[in-house]
Structure 1
Amino acid sequence: MKLNILLCDAFTGVLPSFIESYQSMFYTLFDSVSKDMEYQVYDVQKGQIPKEIRTDELYLIPGSRAGAYEDTLWIKELINFIRKAHEVRAKLIGVCFGHQVIAQALGGVVEKSDKGWGTGIRTSQIVLPEAKKFFPDGFMNMHYNHHDQVMELPKEATLFASSDFCPNEGFIIGNHILTFQGHPEYTKDYGRHVIQYRAEDEPQAVKEEALKSIETLSAMGENAARWMISLI
């Protein structure tokens, strides 16, 4: 099974020494649920976009420090790719920024939320019965690191998870698009790193609550990964 990662940020200067690369966290995640994975990375910020869109492969758009609404060439090209992939019903996955830019590309609305920084591990409720195949207890715990949110879903989208902090935690379109506001690829160590060392301007109370969530909750990244590979 081939996973094409459309890298939208290498997070240079952000990653700790124990993380080889941002994409390596996805390798670890998917290798934990499948022994038959092949990976290819495209650096979208450098103009690398798949020239051929195959319906028997997965295309994953991960996180970025950019905003889905920004007027930059690489985001415009990515949005064009998303629309083409949707037209041919290619298997498309969005994570954090990926979730947002897929929504933006297909008619949704993305904005910076007045609720502030979403971080740590957050619990959302599963609101779509078919999603309970992968989250059977009816809730989803996921690592988060975002200020932007999807404020309006695309008309074709069906919501599968929601929380008070972020009403649109994830959506599907047909049987070919699946998105998560959260980060299934994050580990507890990396989640702690993001909170402790890469958010100097954020309120201390928010950091403390986020760190507490990491110690008391277990993220369900593997559940999300199993759903992702089930698209093929």
Structure 2
Amino acid sequence: MNGAQRSCDSEECDRFNRELAAAARAMAEEKDTEHTLERAVRTATDLISGCDFAGVFATRVHGTETPAASHEALRLVDHLQLELGEGPAVDALRGEFDLLVVNDLAADGRWQTWSARIVDELGIHSCLCYRLFTDGETLGALMLYAKQPHAFSGPDVENGHAVAAHAAVALHGALEHEQLHEGMRTRRTIGEAIGLLRGRYGLTSDQAFAVLKRLSSHRNVKLALIAEHVVDSGDVPGAADTIAASRERK
């Protein structure tokens, strides 16, 4: 490698680092999880030269989904992974790898049904999958796709590592905020349900909470969902037996 080539590589690396730093600051400043993830997706498609499409596959408060994608069809691609139980993002959520490089999905035999669908329907052949995690906790996956086989070079893979690391930190912070907000909402709903039960049936707070727990256990439904149903509908499923059992604790 001659001096001109080394200089060119150095300049390209400096440019990438500057743009990544700016993107990381922008991710940290986004107002909510959705905007944070959309910024991460834009960063991947802007900074990774071989990348045609990008998406984030994340475990959220309400389940696993694709909250950000550069192309709407990628949401269907990831839904198919969940439906089939196969695909790189599913494997990433299982913690089976931190990085996966697939040079030609048409020739790769690991996820035959899923791979065949995205090759045939979207013309996607190359894939990079980065597990997004902090402190060993898997948060999701950053998926990069390209239409050309062998589209991602060694520098693309390394640059993708850097983008994924920043995305994981930003996603972790956003999800912590989301979980805190959801926890506060859940506690408020449970409090409202307890208040409704106290006023309608003359229960103590402990008895009203015992009603909710009993319903949750018997119906195998999360307590927060039981409380939400009580608040929204005013209905207490199996009220007579459940409340009578709770009054016996008086």
**If the length of structure 1 is used for normalisation, what is the TM-score?**
0.24
More strand by share: 1
TM-score of the superposition, structure 2-length normalised?
A: 0.22
Q: Which is bigger in relative contact order (C-alpha 8 A, separation at least 6)?
A: 1
Higher-helix-fraction structure? 2
Larger Rg: 2
